[in-house]
A and B are shown apart, each in its own frame.
Chain A
Amino acid sequence: MRNAMAIYRKEVSAYFRSPMAYIFLVFFALFNGYFFSNTFFLFGQSDMRALFNITPMILLIFVPAVTMGLIAREKSSGTYELMTTLPIKNSELVMGKYLSAITLVLAGLGFTLVHFVTLLLVGSHIDYGGVLCGYLGLALVGAFYAAIGTFTSSLTDNQVVSFILAAVVVLVFYLFDKLLIFVPVALAGAVQFMAVDYHLSNLARGVVDSRNLVYFGSLIWLFLSLTVRVIDMRKWR
């Protein structure tokens, strides 16, 4: 874990040394702010459903942008060889990079707390548990997308390719339950269970079901494990 934390610190400071993190955070806050405030005052309800509905869609683009360079940039600049010949396990390398991406995503979500403050100021009968669960859901979605982005970043040395691959995979998971009408009835349950929205909507309603947590946890584990395997496979090219 010590090595993972060293990688993590390096990656986080690299994010904030470049304009990348600032651009991400500003645009993330602007997009969320626009879409949240658009409907919040229109419907006059004391909840943050609008944010919890729109943020997963914004994350579809923003998380792949955050993760696209995690490993692909190392490959294109040649530092991949440096990193993989240091005495560090591939799992530590992946974990350090993954946690740094999550940190940026969580920082982005942190900016949206300003909307919660707005809610506190103008709303009444606020469902604090629902808000907390909603944020938990967004954090899990961000973490899941970041795992996918970390994986696609390990597949290529081209950041644009990494971004597109991540966006496509993330979109597939996002669209699963939108495509149920095209799926045979026998498979509908399984396909719906694979959908991000299905699990997020439970959390956004304030329901924490262990199945939702298992879904996110197992898929994050799967994509991070695949990333470790891909890095290990470089030896056998």
Chain B
Amino acid sequence: MIRVENLKKYYGDFQALKGIDFEIDDGEIVGFLGANGAGKSTTLKVMTGYLAPSAGNVFMDDLNIQAHSLAIRQQIGYLPEMNPLYGEMRVYDYLEFTSQIRGMSPEAFKTALDRVVDQCGLREVIHLPISACSKGYKQRIGISAAILHDPRVLIFDEPVSGLDPNQIVEIRNLIRELGQHKMLIISSHILQEIEATVDRIVIIDHGEIVANGTSRELMSGFQGRTQLTLDVKYADEASIAGLARNIDEIEVADAQAVDGRSVLSIEYTREVDPREAIFEYAKNSGWAILEMTQHQVHLEDVFRGLTGEGGGHA
């Protein structure tokens, strides 16, 4: 288990982390979601021992990162942001070098090499210089180096950043496969990436955790408003105005006349479900309902609500 306690980090006067707490159990896939500069990478850098915390600590079981950095680093496979690699080395040489630093015997390296080459699909490029490989292959090389020693914990910082859609799917599948057996922590500013890959999401904003749970938990706890689109015929202005008066919990945010129809945009809190009342009102008012669609709350809405960010790239 990894336990992060009251983690704070200052860069000069700027406070990048403002007291972060969380726990991750073995076998969990956890995603760190946040805008650029929110503090995701800083958190991971402290967890991997690259940076020291200004306050607080990171524990792996009973070991803490400040006093037992080497022991903890031995149990972690880390893919840093931008996936830095030694371009002049051949893929094989790079993995062999990694195995030596990890203290693996030549026999253990051979076994591990077969495993990671198959798992990451590196057989075609194993004897090529890394600089000659495509970005997708480079990402796989970075991941294969991180998993070579079969670590207990995998930490991937922005693992699909800069990849094309096909490569994203490939790496996402690889990450999912790895996550079946490992504690896996990934960070991303791409909301869809996190949603598609992880069991639990930690949303970080301005150096603080603003949400922590499964996507279902986050959405159910979201205090935003539900939207409903109502497309009807034969609705006059008076009856439309009476809709909100008759049903207390709703608000008609917008009403537009389109080709003899009225398209109403209705909002209400997530705790209520006024659709039956709306249907009864429409029936009693002589409206013909052509469409009634309640829009589901998406993680994107949760993210926007919690961080004030917008767009697919959160």
Contacts and interface: CB of A to CB of B under 8 A. Distances in A.
A17 B51 contact: no
Chain A: number of interface residues, binned into ranges: 20 to 34
Contact of A14 (B78, B80, B89, B103): B89
A132 B85 CA distance: 42
Interface stretch (B23-31, B94-102, B178-186, B246-254): B94-102
B70 A87 contact: yes
Interface stretch (A28-36, A49-57, A76-84, A215-223): A76-84
Nearest to B129: A17
B144 interface: no
Given A14-B89, A81-B84, A89-B70, A3 B101 contact: yes
Contact of A78 (B48, B80, B89): B80
Contacts of B136: none
B101 to A, nearest CB: 5
Interface residues of B, number: 27
Nearest to B41: A81
B86 A6 contact: no
A125 interface: no
Contacts of A13: 89, 93
Contacts of A211: none
Given A10-B97, A13-B93, A88-B101, A79 B84 contact: yes
Interface in B67-92: 70-71, 73-74, 76, 78, 80, 82, 84-86, 88-89
A85 B70 contact: no
B234 interface: no
A67 to B, nearest CB: 18
Interface of B: 11, 45, 48-52, 70-71, 73-74, 76, 78, 80, 82, 84-86, 88-89, 93, 97-98, 100-103
Interface of A: 2-3, 6-7, 9-10, 13-14, 17-18, 77-82, 84-89, 234-237
16 contacts: A3-B100, A6-B101, A14-B86, A17-B88, A17-B89, A78-B82, A79-B84, A81-B45, A81-B80, A81-B84, A82-B85, A84-B50, A85-B76, A85-B80, A87-B70, A237-B51
